[in-house]
Amino acid sequence: MEIVDNPYTAALASTAPSLPELANPPGILDESTALRIFRKISNQIRFFLFGKELTSFSLKHPCFCDGNHIKNKCAPMEYLVKWKGTGRGQIVDGVSIADRPPEIEDRAVPGHWEGDLIAGFADSCIATLVERHSRFTMLVKVNGKDTNTVVTALSKQVRKLPDQLRQSLTWDRGMELADHKTFTLATDTKVYFCDPRSPWQRGTNENTNRLLRQYFPKGTDLSVYSQSELNKVARRLNQRPRKTLGYETPADKLQASVASIS
């Protein structure tokens, strides 16, 4: 991981005295305090800034850096942070959104979806799928965020769609779709992944998720909803006229699209 030093702290570091002979120099946090501070940082910030799960922490001076360590200079001390796991953005053999065909981008052809998880209380979540051409929404009950659970639930629902509506799925960098190859084999649906920290690349899904918060406010326990109840919420959304569709409903738009290519 490339390290970019802050010019201000780098300048301070260049004037700092050599400290190897001091057991605990002034201004240096002891290891337990530093670890406690790091553990207070939210998972979201850790994943977005560093991309991997924090597992251990130590302080050394002078610091060194290799492929398994990340150097984070904060003059006059230097931190050595050890990481493990693949983390966000490290999905194996994932195809980038940059390689997505142009016909997906212009929404001319139905069957291309965007997806994500919306989170609720106690790590509960719902998978949301939105068709780009019609804005038609499907909600999928999932019992966990691990990739096996999510891929199994998504595959079950997507297989219910006609073949012409199973063209592609664009997802974010979340590890819940790390087993994307199994999903593609089960559904014959190609998967593309957004760039890190780029939710606007699946803006249709993001906008729909905001609408869904009318039914599932933040902090709601999403695990209590059955698939049947989620289908009812999706039906309400799909029967709501949309300005962007010329005040057609997503359901009518999708039905007309399917009829035109049948």
**Strands 112-119 and 168-171, bridge-based pairing:** parallel
Burial class (CB within 10 angstroms; exposed 0-12, middle 13-18, buried 19+) of 70: middle
Domain count for the chain, please give it: 2
**Residue 261: predicted pLDDT:** 75
Task: Pick 55 or 153 by higher pLDDT.
Answer: 153
Dist CA 90 CA 73 (whole Å): 25
Domain boundary pick from 38, 54, 84: 84
Q: Is residue 99, in this structure, part of any structural domain at all?
A: yes
Per-residue DSSP letter, 123: G
Average pLDDT value for residue range 29-36: 62
Dist CA 125 CA 127 (whole Å): 7
Q: Is residue 89, in this structure, part of any structural domain at all?
A: no
Tens of pLDDT, residues 220-230 = 999 999 999 99
Return mean pLDDT, the chain. 77
* Helix 227-238, helix 250-261: angle, nearest 10: 90
Q: Is residue 246, in this structure, part of any structural domain at all?
A: yes
Question: Do 112 and 97 meet the contact criterion of CB atoms below 8 Å apart?
Answer: no
Dist CA 48 CA 26 (whole Å): 31
Per-residue DSSP letter, 232: H
Tens of pLDDT, residues 61-113 = 433 333 333 334 333 333 333 333 334 447 899 999 999 998 899 998 999 99
Question: Do 218 and 126 meet the contact criterion of CB atoms below 8 Å apart?
Answer: no
**Residue 36: predicted pLDDT:** 61
Tens of pLDDT, residues 128-169 = 999 999 999 999 999 999 999 999 999 999 999 999 999 999
**Residue 33: predicted pLDDT:** 64
Dist CA 13 CA 7 (whole Å): 10
Containing structural domain, residue 13? 7-84
Diameter of the chain measured on Cα atoms: 78
Q: Is residue 111, in this structure, part of any structural domain at all?
A: yes
**Residue 32: predicted pLDDT:** 66
Q: Is residue 176, in this structure, part of any structural domain at all?
A: yes
For residue 98, how many C-alpha atoms fall within 13 Å in the half-sphere facing its CB? 5
Domain boundary pick from 58, 84, 110: 84
* Whether residues 220 and 107 fall in one domain: yes
